[in-house]
């Protein structure tokens, strides 16, 4: 019984790629730290727990729905045919049930954080679940994915009781362009498949060379937006070391992929982007500590 239960847990964890929370969670945590530079609600253990639950539940709902909706497409793609739903490890009704349960948990967690988090939870879910449809009609789907992850730091800022201002919008723009840029690189693997199956992406629409240019431009915007966030919040030297680290890692990411160097895309996507988010958070936290001491 225990073996079966653990197997189900591992299957669902793999389905929603729980380990990939490392991409958005550190930026949400950075937003919490940055929000302390403005009038904000008390940061209690209960508030931190509700924010973490909301973050994980929202991402779980988005990933489970994506796997449910794309099950037929994934079954046809040699790269994705072994994913949990097309391979039969997780049934479509189970994936959809996980989506509904995680969505309800997200709304419930948002309700404990205040009126605005609760009110905004519905449109946030529309973006998170709606992303999965976008590849069917627009090559700008990468930017919608970026927006979905950018809602994490924005939501954390609001959950802290801080008022919206240009600095948090700049941080959200940084996450949007960062995610959009690396998703363009990742989608190079499916350029031919997407074209043949009428799916939309920047590589499928504009080709590899232009996709690399677009990705680089988006990542340049990421660095500029992070710098503006720090300037508007009057951050210290450690914060801008973090911005420089992000810039260096993104340059390395593009050097790895090169001109469609697909065999290194997994390393660029999973490793480098994990370093980007964790490194930025660590230096943002260090900067806050230096400033407070």
d(CA 68, CA 139): 21
Q: Helix, strand or coil for residue 41?
A: coil
Beta carbons of 26 and 281 less than 8 angstroms apart:
yes
Report pLDDT digits (tens) over 66-75.
999 999 999 9
For each of the domains in the chain, give its residue range(s) and CATH number, in order of start: 9-292 (1.10.357.140)
d(CA 15, CA 100): 15
Write out the H or E segment, with its range, that includes residue 172.
helix 166-186
pLDDT at 260: 61
Average pLDDT taken over every residue of the chain: 91
Q: How many Å from the N-terminal Cα to the C-terminal Cα in the chain?
A: 53
Report pLDDT digits (tens) over 97-122.
999 999 999 999 999 999 999 999 99
What is the CB-side half-sphere exposure of residue 171 using CA atoms within 13 A?
32
- Report DSSP letters for 201-240, one per residue: -HHHHH-HHHHHHHHHHHHHHHHHHHHHHHHHTT--HHHH
Beta carbons of 240 and 224 less than 8 angstroms apart:
no
Report pLDDT digits (tens) over 259-292.
666 777 777 777 889 899 999 999 999 999 998 7
d(CA 252, CA 264): 12
Instruction: Name the residue with tokens 């949007």.
Output: 176
């Amino acid at each position: 019984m225990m073996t079966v239960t653990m197997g189900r847990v591992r299957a669902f964890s793999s389905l929603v790629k729980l380990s990939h929370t490392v991409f958005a969670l550190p930026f949400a945590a950075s937003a919490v730290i940055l929000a302390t530079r403005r009038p904000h609600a008390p940061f209690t253990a209960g508030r931190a727990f509700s924010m973490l639950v909301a973050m994980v539940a929202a991402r779980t709902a988005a990933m489970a729905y994506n796997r449910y909706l794309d099950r037929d497409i994934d079954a046809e793609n040699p790269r994705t045919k072994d994913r949990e739903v097309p391979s039969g490890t997780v049934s479509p009704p189970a994936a959809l049930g996980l989506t509904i349960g995680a969505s309800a948990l997200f709304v419930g967690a948002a309700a404990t954080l205040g009126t605005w988090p609760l009110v905004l939870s519905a449109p946030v879910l529309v973006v998170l679940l709606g992303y999965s449809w976008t590849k069917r009609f627009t090559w700008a789907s990468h930017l919608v994915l970026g927006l979905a992850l950018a809602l994490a730091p924005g939501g954390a800022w609001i959950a802290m009781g801080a008022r919206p201002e240009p600095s948090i919008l700049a941080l959200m723009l940084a996450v949007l362009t960062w995610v959009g840029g690396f998703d363009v690189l990742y989608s190079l693997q499916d350029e031919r498949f997407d074209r043949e199956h009428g799916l939309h992406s920047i590589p499928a629409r504009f080709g590899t060379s232009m996709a690399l240019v677009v990705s680089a431009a988006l990542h340049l915007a990421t660095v500029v937006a992070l710098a503006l966030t720090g300037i508007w919040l009057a951050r210290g030297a450690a914060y801008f070391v973090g911005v420089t680290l992000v810039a260096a890692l993104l340059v390395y990411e593009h050097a790895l992929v090169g001109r469609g160097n697909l065999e290194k895309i997994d390393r660029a996507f999973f490793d480098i982007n994990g370093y980007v988010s964790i490194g930025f958070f660590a230096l943002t936290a260090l900067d806050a500590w230096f400033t407070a001491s």
